[in-house]
Amino acid sequence: METELSRKLGIEHAIFGFTPFPAVAAAITRAGGFGVLGAVRYTDPDDLKRDLDWMQEHTDGKPYGLDVVMPAKKAVDGISEADIEAMIPAAHREYVRDTLAKHHVPELPEGEASGWRITGWMEQVARNQLDVAFDYPIKLLANALGSPPADVIARAHEHGVLVAALAGSAKHARRHAEAGIDIVVAQGYEAGGHTGDIATMVLVPEVVEAVAPLPVLAAGGIGGGEQIAAGLALGAQGAWLGSLWLTTTEADMHSRALTEKLLAAGSGDTVRSRALTGKPARQLRTEWTDAWDDPEGPGALPMPLQGLLVAEAVSRIQKYEIQPLLGSPVGQIVGRMNSERSVQAVFDDLTSGFERAIDRITRIAGRVPGSEECTG
């Protein structure tokens, strides 16, 4: 699975693995792919430094990258988290309390703070992460909210770091190209987390054409080598995979119940909901997502208000593993995530599936009408 982009980055396989878990990112890199560590949960720069130190020790000198969440423009300049919290309507807070009470979700122990915060979506937090990251030999900076600010792109390029941005439409992809992005990740509707409305099979060739000659990575609903081959056939120079790694043995989900829900879920058991962040994000469908999508409810608030509103609730649901409410961002590929395997085992499956697909297409392409191979 070698492409011009994979050769440029010095990786064996053009597989880019996004994950919030350092152990998974490092294993992806060691397996010959390109591990990309998600930074959104690192609100304390020292925690990110600790995990990047660990990545340095466990990637065998092979390349890896970092994914941040940073808007291209500041929505409000100088606003604090406390200021944003104050904007949350009382009726929404009451709705959260009522929903948790309905499912008998215990309070967090006294003195225990919420473990899940949306502050990683705030620009200054991301900038603090970059102050740490550029001290390490990262080879790629990806941004989940499109093109990062121009000064961040320039700073990355000064450090010899390529910049990637996710796009859900050809129009978004063109904006990325105009902003100086090096790689566009064409993320289809099937993907986990924030997605647009266009399916991967339609989106990838549109983006490839829109930003040529920039390299494009295919993303969304990809969990097999045959799908990677399809992405490359559509013009992509690699595949961006995220959900598939959630059920690997290296993933630290902190919840056996959640892992089991992922393993049991089918491809139809996800929904695009604003319940988690305020923007449409594909995740497991649960009674929590149903509550926020209920037309009789107050509806989700815009980002970042919704994330701040539900932060403590999500921590309580996860801590006590409240089954009807317990969920996670995940793509439709969850239907194929039905066993726990190591990252290396996943790679072995991806490469063998890719080989099968290429062999199949080669046989089809080699057939000539009237030949012996076409008869029978």
Structural contact between residues 143 and 165, judged by C-beta atoms closer than 8 angstroms: yes
Q: Where are the beta strands (DSSP E) in 124-241?
A: 140-143, 162-167, 183-187, 193-194, 216-219, 239-241
Coil, helix or strand for 117? coil
Give tens-digit pLDDT for 306-355.
988 999 999 999 999 999 999 999 999 999 999 999 999 999 999 999 99
Q: What span, in angstroms and rounded, lies between the C-alpha atoms of 270 and 332? A: 6
Q: What distance in Å separates the CA atoms of residue 228 and residue 203, rounded to the nearest whole number?
A: 15
**DSSP per-residue codes, 228-255:** HHHHHHTT-S-EEE-GGGGGBTT---S-
Retrieve residue 141's tokens: 């900076």
Rounded CA gap, 158 and 19, in Å? 26
> Chain-centre distance of CA 192, in angstroms?
7
Instruction: Compute the half-sphere exposure of residue 145: CA atoms within 13 Å on the CB side of its CA.
Output: 19
Joined tokens for residue 241: 């995979």
pTM of this structure: 0.92
Full pLDDT tens readout for the chain, 376 residues: 899 999 999 999 999 999 999 999 999 999 999 999 999 888 889 999 999 999 999 999 999 999 998 865 554 455 666 777 889 999 999 999 999 999 999 999 987 776 555 554 567 788 999 999 999 999 999 998 788 999 999 999 999 999 999 999 999 999 999 999 999 999 999 999 999 999 999 999 999 999 999 999 999 999 999 999 999 999 999 999 999 999 999 999 888 999 999 999 999 999 999 999 898 999 999 999 999 999 999 999 998 789 889 999 999 999 999 999 999 999 999 999 999 999 999 999 999 999 999 999 999 998 755 545 444 3
